[in-house]
Structure 1
Amino acid sequence: MRVSAKSSLNIYRAMEKITKNSVLIRTTEAKKQMIRSFPFIRLLVLDFALSIYLWYKWKPDWDYTVDIFWKQTGHVADNLNGTITWLRSNPAGLKLNTPVNDTLAWFFTYHIYLWTTFIGFLRSDAFFRFITYSLIGGVSTFSSIVYDFSQIFFLHFNCFDAYATKLCYLCYYTLTVLWSLVRGKKWNPLRERMDTVILDTRQQFLATSLFVILLFILPTIFVYFVVFRSLRLAVSALQTVIYFFATWPFQLFALEKYFKEKYGKQKTSEGNDAASTE
């Protein structure tokens, strides 16, 4: 009984997290709350009209669309593998640490393989038909589903950036600690200040050796951090555009309301001033 209750709680937490992160669910709930507003209804009608126009312009060919998508997916995986191969060949004359470079390259290559295997489970015509038929709900609904799918499709970029960021931060933090230790200082967390510490010869040698090793490893890790952070920013820019189309009725509604309140108050204040002068 306890196991079932615990599993139910985990399922509830997972569904709650999905609900908070899913743009489709959030936009659908927001539409339900704002459907009573006539200006927002006009925007929804325009949203449906744009979806109908897009449907007749697109006229999706299922086989062609699915084939193009999986070709592009293969190109993404090939380009990532090519990027890692490029990093292993000391790009731009950088003398990267060979053992660390090979280890990181193997690690990220294996994760690319895991990502392609995971995406392979989504290789279904029904899945793509569901995305395309979401145009019935409007351009915003279609863009919301595309955005949620992009969260899964670009998951490896987020993971790569997280791995490289954590590793780079860990290396940098360890270097700062070792640099203080080499100079005979250490951080006292109780008093929140730097205290003096006396090291013997072996401790000084060990701290200096670790500092030098990490100092020569840091450029290699930093190169991976810069590359994967750049890829993450490019993906974020693309997702920002998709998110705009997913939420454009709400943004236009808020913008229209803002201008009405701003210029409406100015007009009323000008009218009151004119009446007072008369």
Structure 2
Amino acid sequence: MSRRGTASLFVPDDLLESTLRASVEESRRKSKRLFAVGRREEGVTVVADLLEAEDVDMAQAELRRRGAAGTQHGLETVGEIVHGRCAELDGARRTPNLRFRLLRPQESSADHKTLSPSPSVILYAPPRHLEALALGPLPLDFHPASFGRQNVEGDQISSTHGATLKQASPTIAIGIHLINVLHQDSHTVLSEADSSPTAPAAQILYSLLLLVPAVLQGCVRILSVRLPLLGPLSERTAFARQLHTRFAQAASLLPMYFSLRRDLYGSASAEARVQAHTTYIRFFNLVWLVANDFIVGMALASYVRDNAPFLKHLAEKLVRVYVLAYLRELLAWLSSWPMGVKLNDEVATVICAAFLFLSQLWENVFLGPVLAHLPVHLIGLCGILGASSLLALTADLISLLTLPFFACYVAATLVYRWSLSTLSALFNVFRGRKYNPLRSRVEPATYDVDALLLGTILFVTISFLFPTLVAFYLAFASSRLLILSVQAVLLMGVSALNAFPLFALLLRLKSPRRLPGGVDLEACDDVRHWPERHLHLRSRPVSYIAILSSLLVVFDEFLSPRGLLKVLRHLLLGQVIW
């Protein structure tokens, strides 16, 4: 080779053990030589395995016979391990006098006399099946990019000695790519060799299974149909929205499975097989989520079925005590100077009478018949759709059973907003101004004496009535916020069940190398690993915080500062909070 030989040599960390075994048996096979097989690209050589042969041509022939050279990133003979006489192994561990002879790409058995300059040796642990090395966190659904993680490509590689290896970044990137490709190829060859031809019955079953995603997609489209005056059901009720989510997830399982099988064991490119790690984790995480959701849902359905009379009595008691009785007590408290504030008795009496009539009408027409024939068994039966569907249905039932509070809240909000807009307009009249909607600004205006007098009288009248209206508005707005808080807790549980990275957490505990989060380089002088100074390439798994980051998105939808400020703005301006 020329003096511009290979800059970096990636060697499996178990290569020394293989070399020791080969050196012990060398005396028995004097005609055999030890060749390294792997791949090289842009000044980087990656060794994947060792091969004993008489010369380079015989080694290449052996690779072709095994079929490795026929893979998409097939192995080739990249070098020869030359070692001196090894001391007898008398129980003490000895290191053979290793030298690595790198071969030219077209070198033959008659032309391999020149040794390459000493490359930078980097030891790595060969990835096993479904394992991979990565320069950064594996891109999963739970957004690992939101966490500050040093990336080898974009920044630098960390060393245990505190040194930075910015110049090695392109080399490490190429080496990691070749390591993943070579070992994915080797696992795929073994899998294809062990696989049996597809039976005709399996083909028929495959055709029938294709009908399942079509049916589920049809259910998703039905839930997305816009109904007159209502819109899509998936946007109006939490239960329909959860069914929409579950049907869409279930419909994607089968295509994800076939895509995963094709990329891991089929004729897909080696790069596609490396990228299939993300699909593999997403697929099994979804399977685990759906399976556990159904298991917990079946347990809850069994509990509801076995305790239906008790749950029916409890629901009726809660509705009568915390909805109807509480509404009457709240109206009675508002009509009797709440917290010592003297309200307008006439206005308070009219509002209380109207709200009490609305409450009694709702109780007699709807709540009475529903509570008497509450289908607890049917509600519990929804548990077979999963615990998340049961939680979503509970949130919808809370909205339905507290509808009198919502009706009173909407009425109080409309009156409050009308009072605000009227006071603003009358205050402009009182100041001799008017609002110009074309220019969206307040401009000076001239009013007659009659208009000024009428505006002043109305302004003073509504100003004295405004505290009473505000008291009723705040009371029902706070009740509305309390109900929404309970529903938000239930819906947060539903969203957590849809996004919890259960499989990823268990995989992080069992096999961290299947969740790569980056790499570290560690300098080492231990001759038991390699005779010369070398580096160890360590895979750094994704942190638990990065795995759980998907839950932050769930909680951010309900507890984000922007959302809380939006709710506060709606309260101040008298806009209905749905």
Correspondence for 1:69 among 287, 306, 315: 315
**1:110-129: per-residue Cα shift (whole Å, max 9, x none)?**
11112223223323546221
Tell me, in whole angstroms, the C-alpha distance in 2 between the residues paired with 1:54 and 1:20: 26
Kept after mapping to 1: 8 A contact 2:285/2:502: no
**1:61-87: per-residue Cα shift (whole Å, max 9, x none)?**
322222222122211201110110111
**Distance change (3 Å), C-alpha of 1:177 and 1:126:** closer
**Distance change (3 Å), C-alpha of 1:204 and 1:111:** same
Q: CA offset at residue 214 of structure 1?
A: 0.5
**1:90-119: per-residue Cα shift (whole Å, max 9, x none)?**
111111111111111111111111222322
Kept after mapping to 1: 8 A contact 2:319/2:401: no
Partner of 1:46: 292
**Distance change (3 Å), C-alpha of 1:201 and 1:13:** closer
Tell me, in whole angstroms, the C-alpha distance in 1 between the residues paired with 2:353 and 2:503: 49
* SS across alignment from 1:122: helix
Tell me, in whole angstroms, the C-alpha distance in 1 between the residues paired with 2:288 and 2:245: 15
Partner of 1:119: 367
Calculate the TM-score normalised by the size of structure 1: 0.82
**Distance change (3 Å), C-alpha of 1:216 and 1:265:** farther
Q: CA offset at residue 231 of structure 1?
A: 0.4
After superposition, residues 108-257 of structure 1 pair within 5 angstroms as 108-116=355-363, 117-123=365-371, 125=373, 127-253=375-501
- Bigger proportion of residues as helix: 1
Tell me which amino acid in the other structure corresponds to 1:114. L
Partner of 1:92: 339
**1:155-201: per-residue Cα shift (whole Å, max 9, x none)?**
22222222212211110111111111011111122343333223333
**Distance change (3 Å), C-alpha of 1:219 and 1:254:** farther
Tell me, in whole angstroms, the C-alpha distance in 2 between the residues paired with 1:238 and 1:182: 44
Kept after mapping to 1: 8 A contact 2:288/2:502: no
Task: Between the two structures, name the one with larger relative contact order (CA 8 Å, sep ≥ 6).
Answer: 1
Partner of 1:3: none
Correspondence for 2:228 among 6, 13, 30: 13
Tell me, in whole angstroms, the C-alpha distance in 2 between the residues paired with 1:26 and 1:254: 22
Tell me, in whole angstroms, the C-alpha distance in 2 between the residues paired with 1:92 and 1:205: 35
**Distance change (3 Å), C-alpha of 1:193 and 1:237:** closer
- Bigger proportion of residues as strand: 2
Which structure has the larger Rg over C-alpha atoms?
A: 2
* SS across alignment from 1:133: helix
Partner of 1:6: none
Tell me, in whole angstroms, the C-alpha distance in 2 between the residues paired with 1:74 and 1:123: 10
Calculate the TM-score normalised by the size of structure 2: 0.41
Q: CA offset at residue 16 of structure 1?
A: 4.1
Partner of 1:32: 247
Q: Number of aligned pairs?
A: 263
Tell me, in whole angstroms, the C-alpha distance in 2 between the residues paired with 1:167 and 1:207: 19
Structure 2 gap segments, 5+ residues each: 1-225, 254-282, 509-513, 524-533, 538-578
